[in-house]
Amino acid sequence: MHRLLFNAALLATASASAASAQPVSVTLTEFKVRLSSDTVKAGPITFRVKNSGKTSHSFYVLGDNVDKGTPDIAAGQESSLTVTLKAGTYEVFCSMSENSHKLAGMTRQLVVLPSDGPAVPRKPER
pLDDT at 108: 96
Average pLDDT on 114-119 reads: 75
Task: Count Cβ atoms below 10 Å from residue 37 Cβ, excluding itself.
Answer: 18
Q: What is the pLDDT of residue 16?
A: 44
Mean of the pLDDT values across residues 67-91? 97
Model pTM?
A: 0.79
- pLDDT tens digits, residue range 34-46? 999 999 999 999 9
The CA-based diameter of the chain, rounded to the nearest angstrom, is 52
Contact between residue 85 and residue 45 where contact means Cβ atoms under 8 Å apart: yes
Contact indicator for 51, 73 with CB cutoff of 8 Å: yes
Q: Please give the backbone phi and psi of residue 116, each rounded to the nearest 5 degrees, phi first.
A: -100, 10
Contacts of 100 (CB under 8 A, 6+ apart): none
pLDDT confidence bin for 99, thresholds 50/70/90: confident
Average pLDDT score over residue span 6-17: 46
Helix (H, G, I), strand (E, B) or coil at 52: coil
